[in-house]
Amino acid sequence: MSLYIQRLKQENISGSVREREREMEAGKGTVKAVALIVGDNNVKGSIHFLHQSNGTTHVSGRITGLSPGLHGFHIHALGDTTNGCNSTGPHFNPLNKHHGAPADHHRHAGDLGNILAGPDGVAEISITDSQIPLSGVHSILGRAVVVHADPDDLGRGGHELSKTTGNAGARVGCGIIGLQSSV
């Protein structure tokens, strides 16, 4: 593909994002994003993000192939999966706070708590959060959503990793958050 065509495509994508951001600021629209989850031992799924004009983002989706029980669920800083989920960086934390629970005022923006996989290994997700916008300076677009092997202790576990990762263990699935078509 020629450099000229690549630039045109990038300008169209950038223009589309700017247009959606202007609509959000004017209270006219919503922004949608999606992440396709892939990982260890047949972990897979899709997560949808809907940033609403009231400033919250609704996260919904389904992940299969998990071990039954609670799993830490976070937005990580990087959308880099060149080394699987290990290259997604730390939790998204633009305000440099300690790890915490989703309801805590002082927490990483990417701290979304736990998801519950049933006996069949399926987790149905429905979360609404005000710290993970899809536009603006702290946008999560281009970052990664990560599912961990263990429960997130919400920063209260007393482990040396509690205040940074929630001691949630290995990364068993992840996906890059990308802008979704509005049609």
Residues known to be catalytic: 74, 76, 91, 99, 108, 111, 148, 171
Q: How far apart are CA 110 and CA 125, in angstroms?
A: 15
Return the number of other C-beta atoms located less than 10 Å from residue 69's C-beta. 16
Return the number of other C-beta atoms located less than 10 Å from residue 96's C-beta. 6
Q: Measure the CA angle with vertex 165, ends 54 and 74; round to 5°.
A: 35
Q: How far apart are CA 64 and CA 115, in angstroms?
A: 12
Three-class SS of 99-120: CCCCCCCCCCCCEEEEEEECCC
Q: What is the DSSP letter of 40?
A: G
